[in-house]
Structures are given as structure tokens and as C-alpha cells.
Amino acid sequence: MVRLKIFDPGMQKKMKQKIQDLLRRGIIHLSNSLYLINISVVEKKDRTIRIYLALIDLNATIIDDKQPLSNMRKLMNAIVRAKFYFS
């Protein structure tokens, strides 16, 4: 069961602005996924916020297929000029 976190209105406004900025820049996108991920929000010294994803619950639902990666050097050469990396 997912516990809802309650944020004060000022923090909610900062979170909404940060998420809108990430959407506008194409760093994140809207999703209709069945999976939920908890977030943690930390206010930095300069009063901006950082949003962290808590992937522990998601990792618990993933089935490990126990297949080793084939030829790691070939894989690294293929992604050397990539702008984004996903695992």
C-alpha cells in the first residue's frame, strides 16, 4: 500500500514548477504506467528543490532474468556518444 505524503503549499508550488520545467525540457514525460514510484523532495541550500525517485518498490517487482550482458566492450562502444543512458 502506498502512503500519501503531505507537502506544505509552498513546497507543492515549487514541486509543480520543477515538474513543469522538466516536462518542458523533455527530461521527463507523462506516463500511463500501472507502476507507482514514491518520490522524495529535498530543499537545497539555495532554496531550490531536488526530486528523488525511490525505486526500491519498483525493483522489488522486477523479475531478474539472470542473463549476463553479452560483450560489454561492444555495448560501451555503441553508447559512447549517446546523450542519454537508460538501464
Q: How confident is the model at residue 20 (pLDDT cuts 50, 70, 90)?
A: very high
Q: What stretch of H or E contains 72?
A: helix 72-79
Backbone φ, ψ for residue 56 (5° rounding)? -60, -50
pLDDT in tens, 22-73: 999 999 888 888 777 778 888 899 988 888 887 776 667 777 777 776 777 8
How many angstroms separate the first and last alpha carbons of the chain?
26
DSSP-based three-state secondary structure for 31: coil
* pTM, to two decimals: 0.55
CA 75 – CA 70 distance, rounded (Å): 8
